[in-house]
Amino acid sequence: MVSLVFDIGNTFSKVAVFEEQHILWTERYRQITEKLLQQILVKFKPATAIISSVQNKIFLWETMLEQQLKTFRFHHQMAKSIKNHYQNPEKLGLDRLAAVVGAHFLYPKNSNLVIDAGTCVTYDLVDAEGNYYGGSISPGLKMRFKALKHFTKKLPLIEAETGFDQVSGSNTKEAIISGVQNGLRFEAEGFIKKQTEQDPQTNILLTGGDLNFFDTHLKSSIFAAYVKPEPYLVLKGLNAVIHQQE
């Protein structure tokens, strides 16, 4: 079965076409139009679709899609493979939920700690039995640099430098990079250390826009053996949800 998957964010929308569990094609757009959607439908001829969106509105192209094939709007009750123990399951971000669904689908015999490095960095654990109890939300890499600029009078706005590996800086720029990047790295390593002490078989799955930053730094740490980059984890989770509805 060919499936069409949409992950609609605040700025970008990710679209993917799957044949069973294999990605045939994926792209990122600022805006999805009816014309673009029709081109995708003609080229890949999907049988079903799923839409996950941070926006509550119904899109014009979504209405068109529903008229042509079986279409699901992702919500928390659709994640049937996960035992969701979040205090208010309906309040859990759909991207976080889709990511843990994807993690449990890909590695069902292990606990999986998902680190989603985007605007915020989220840490979410799903155990080998599919239990999800909650997670952590922290400021992302770019947000940390911007906060130093915004909340001080003299500190400049600095860009991240993935190759920076100094413990401390000898000037203001280096000190900011050291504080932000090492701080985020040590934070992630702390979460990983705590979890792998409890369960040494835990996988660490990296996803999100700043995946490469975490991959670079964690692959050079003592946790390298646990780290698995999964750039399409949310899309894979949404695709897995489609098959859970059958």
Dump the DSSP string for the chain: -EEEEEEE-SS-EEEEEEETTEEEEEEEES---HHHHHHHHHHH--SEEEEEESS-SPPHHHHHHHHHSEEEE--GGG-TTSEE--SSGGGS-HHHHHHHHHHHHH-TTS-EEEEEESSEEEEEEE-TT-EEEEEEEEE-HHHHHHHHHHT-SSPPP----TT---SS-SSHHHHHHIIIIIHHHHHHHHHHHHHHHH-TT-EEEEESTTHHHHHHHHTTSTTGGGEEE-TTHHHHHHHHHHHHT-
Please give the structure tokens belonging to residue 117.
């490095």
- 231 within 8 A of 211, measured Cβ to Cβ: yes
Active-site residue identified among 7, 95, 210, 215:
95
Name the region of 226 (left: φ>0; alpha: ψ -120 to 50; beta: rest).
Answer: alpha
Angle (CA) 109 75 63, round 5°: 130
- 163 within 8 A of 181, measured Cβ to Cβ: no
- Could you confirm whether 210 is annotated as catalytic? no
Residues catalogued as catalytic: 95
